Structure 1
Amino acid sequence: MDVTFTQVAEVRIIALRDKPVPFRAALRYSSTDPLAVQVILPAEATRGGWPRTWVFARDLLSEGLNKDAGSGSVRIWSCCPSGTVLEFHSAGEILPVQFRTAVLARFLRCSYALVAPGKEDVGGALERSLDSVMRDGPVQRE
């Protein structure tokens, strides 16, 4: 059975010159894509003014809760004892978003309860993705 869950989180964009801007983001995990997590940012959080969805490895999020992690478009680092920053990079934009570490850890625990690490059915997820692309064409994410 395919299960998806979403957790809403109060977060802040960390700006260099301004006071941090609070908003709500969503964390999403789906058993149909068991190796990935999604962070969904609302339009008011992005420079372009449209919602953005970032998809990255669940293992990266786990690693980032223990030490600095990532080197590509998603980087994760601790900013204080109770805060973790997910830093999103795209087309000349860097968007550092601060989450409460406890919120990210709870989200990961819930994802592990759904699909335990090492028990991901990657073959099934790949097959469903290929079927979807063949049927509907590639998915465009902004």
Structure 2
Amino acid sequence: MSKVITRTVQAQLITRPPATRPLTPALRYDTGDPLAVRLVFPAEISLDGEEVAWAFSRDLLAEGLLGPAGEGDVHICPCGQQRTVIELHAGEGVAVLEFPAADLRDFLRRTYEAVPPGAEGALLHLEEGLDALLRGV
């Protein structure tokens, strides 16, 4: 049975520097998908009225707290000692969000308590998945 860790965090959507808009997305980690974290935006703040979740690797979050990290759709980098910036790249444009770094570090620490770094593979059940996929072949 998987365990889900959720933490609502305060963020600032940087619209046009120095303009910002406060947001309260949630960070979510599910031990059933131990390599990923999700940044979840509630329906009331999304463009289409639906909850929106961005999934990216837990390692990317850890790297981005220490220095610039990310290729593709998600980029994370520290902004001084107290803040961390997460950029989300989509076809519609780029959303730049600023978070308290302490909140992200605390969330990451809680995920490590649930699944220590390097122990993710034991939870992936790859053999069972392959067996089910290849059954009857």
TM-score scaled by length of structure 2: 0.84
| Conservation of the 8 A alpha-carbon contact between 2:28 and 2:37 | yes
* Cα drift, residue 23 of structure 1: 1.5
* Cα drift, residue 82 of structure 1: 0.6
Q: Name 2:70's counterpart in structure 1.
A: 70
Whole-Å Cα distance in 2 between the matches of residues 126 and 39 of structure 1?
29
Aligned residues: 132
Q: Name 1:28's counterpart in structure 2.
A: 28
Letter in 2 for 1:60: L
Classify 1:79/1:47 alpha carbon distance in 2 versus 1 (closer, same or farther; 3 Å): farther
Structure 1: where are the runs of 5+ without partners? 134-142
Q: Name 1:60's counterpart in structure 2.
A: 60
Say what the alpha-carbon RMSD is for the aligned residues. Answer: 2.4
Q: Name 1:136's counterpart in structure 2.
A: none
Q: Is 1:124–2:128 an aligned residue pair?
A: no
Q: Name 2:42's counterpart in structure 1.
A: 42
* Cα drift, residue 123 of structure 1: 3.3
**Runs of 4 or more consecutive aligned structure 1 residues displaced over 6 Å after TM superposition:** none
Whole-Å Cα distance in 1 between the matches of residues 110 and 126 of structure 2?
19
1:36-66 Cα shifts (integer Å, max 9, x gaps): 0000012454445543100010000000000
Q: Name 2:109's counterpart in structure 1.
A: 109
Structure 2: where are the runs of 5+ without partners? none
Identify the range of structure 1 (116-125 vs 98-107) with the bigger mean alpha-carbon deviation.
Answer: 116-125
The structure that has the greater radius of gyration is 2
Whole-Å Cα distance in 2 between the matches of residues 84 and 116 of structure 1?
23
Q: Is 1:83–2:93 an aligned residue pair?
A: no
1:6-46 Cα shifts (integer Å, max 9, x gaps): 00001110112562100211000011000000000124544
| Conservation of the 8 A alpha-carbon contact between 1:14 and 1:97 | yes
Letter in 2 for 1:75: H
